[in-house]
Amino acid sequence: MFDANENDPISPAMRALLEVFSTELSEVKFPDVDAEVLDEAAARVKAQAEAVAKAQAALEAARQALAEGQEALLQKGQRALSYARVFAEEDAALSTKLEAISLPKAARKLVRPDGTVAAEAPAQNDESAPKRRGRPPKSRPSAPLFADGSAPEAVVAAEASEAPMAARPAAA
């Protein structure tokens, strides 16, 4: 479970020190610190890292189970709300109470090519949608580009017919 290469709980500097104490200083004993004491402490750190990795895996499994339970409750709640609304059609007070309840839409399940099932985020309505960030889009002019109603082709043709007239000398 614990990958010594990728998630080593012992820093490279501490590894280098442990290496020095296991080779060149293996026979040297300082007060309460020697190669054996350092090796025992390193073994405890590795065991504690292993316990953390197992706890994280258990936490992830518990979170997944919680999400699945919440999804199942939501689906049952939506069904119950639908039945209750039909039942309360004749009771205005109960119908008003039920109409005030707005449950989120259930997440759609996606089946991946490898066969695993992934839950997709539920479709968001206006109330649950996150607030848009950033600058609002520029407003577009409401008037059409050719306000006089002429088509772009007509404008180009009119400009072409005016060009030769501008090149002629004016009659005086």
Q: pLDDT tens-digit profile of 20-74?
A: 999 998 888 888 999 999 999 999 999 999 999 999 999 999 999 999 999 999 9
In a domain, 142, yes or no: no
Strands 33-34 and 109-111: unpaired
In a domain, 75, yes or no: yes
pLDDT of residue 143: 57
Domain count, the chain: 1
- The domain in which residue 28 lies consists of 12-119
User: How far is it, in rounded angstroms, from Cα 85 to Cα 102?
Assistant: 12
In a domain, 166, yes or no: no
Higher per-residue confidence, 97 vs 125: 97
In a domain, 1, yes or no: no
pLDDT of residue 58: 97
In a domain, 162, yes or no: no
In a domain, 137, yes or no: no
R_g over Cα of the chain: 37
pTM, whole model, 2 decimals? 0.49
In a domain, 43, yes or no: yes
In a domain, 6, yes or no: no
Other CB atoms within a 10 A radius of the CB of residue 21 amount to 19
